[in-house]
Chains A and B, each alone.
Chain A
Amino acid sequence: MFKELDPILHSQLRLAVMSLLISVKEAEFTFIREKTNATAGNLSVQVQKLKDAGYIDVVKQFKDNYPQTTCKITEAGISAFEAYVKALQEYLKV
């Protein structure tokens, strides 16, 4: 049914993360977790999959002695997201 859709993006949580990141310049892991209502463990796994696909950049650093993970969408991520939305529009004939 959705064979033409990018399997990396066609997952509820990964799609939610990409939709958030396409709207902002960069966001911390905690912000994404709060907005998606996902568990930290599940979100970590999905973020890693998006990173492996080259769709997002993940920067891990320390801020005030606490670990901080910042995510940012890449050019490849933007292109993939746009292609996904276009495929959806074609499917829905919007």
Chain B
Amino acid sequence: MPQEEEHFSAHQSLAIIESMIQKAQNRFSENGTLYLLWGWVIFICCTFHYTLLTITQNQIWGNIWALTIVAVLYQFYFLFKKNKKKAVRTYTDDIISGVWSCFGIVMGIASFIMYKLGSWSLLYSFILLFYGIPTFLSGIIMRFKPLIIGGICCWILSIISVFVQTKEILLLLAPAVLSAWIIPGYLLKAKYNQQNG
């Protein structure tokens, strides 16, 4: 950028504006870490839960889901570190953060309602339904198709879950997180690494 102030044309002005807006928007700050973290945690929990429940018939294996608490703690640590390093804050970052916060709150309230009303059979259908919302919206906001497709996959699996009211319903979570978080997570990571050399 030339440092002296000189006369420049209207075309040059527009070129500067265009170039700077592009530079600000071309940043891809999402490296997929949290998508991969949650994708793998849920994948491990649901497959372990189903396998051990099938083998032992013991409900105690449902405690494997406590692993999500560890994931939540790691997520707080990760976000704290990331925000400390951040040199720029975009509107997109704020909107995506808001969308995922809504998802977390809705999941918490829905789990509480279903626990209180004893409608656990509905839980997995709603989990799959809710997984799709932030995933689809993040895909739209970031203009990243794999997340959009992942969100749609969750909704399809949510409809399928209505017809799978056995313990096999647990297994529907695996393709959901695979399509919504694990595959897009690796693709986001690759895109981020490519952009940041």
Give the interface of A toward B (CB within 8 A): 1-2, 5, 10-13, 15-16, 19-20, 22-28, 30-31, 35-39, 42, 63-64, 84-85, 88, 91-92
Contact = CB atoms under 8 A, between A and B. Distances in A.
A12 B10 contact: no
A19 B17 contact: yes
B111 to A, nearest CB: 32
B17 to A, nearest CB: 5
A35 B27 CA distance: 11
| SS of A interface (majority) | helix
Give the 5 A-B CB pairs with smallest separation, nearest first. A19-B20, A23-B24, A31-B87, A27-B88, A28-B87
Contact of A42 (B3, B21, B89): B3
A92 B14 CA distance: 10
A92 B13 CA distance: 11
A2 B88 contact: no
B194 interface: no
B91 A24 contact: yes
B84 interface: yes
A1 B24 contact: no
Most buried by A among B3, B11, B25: B3
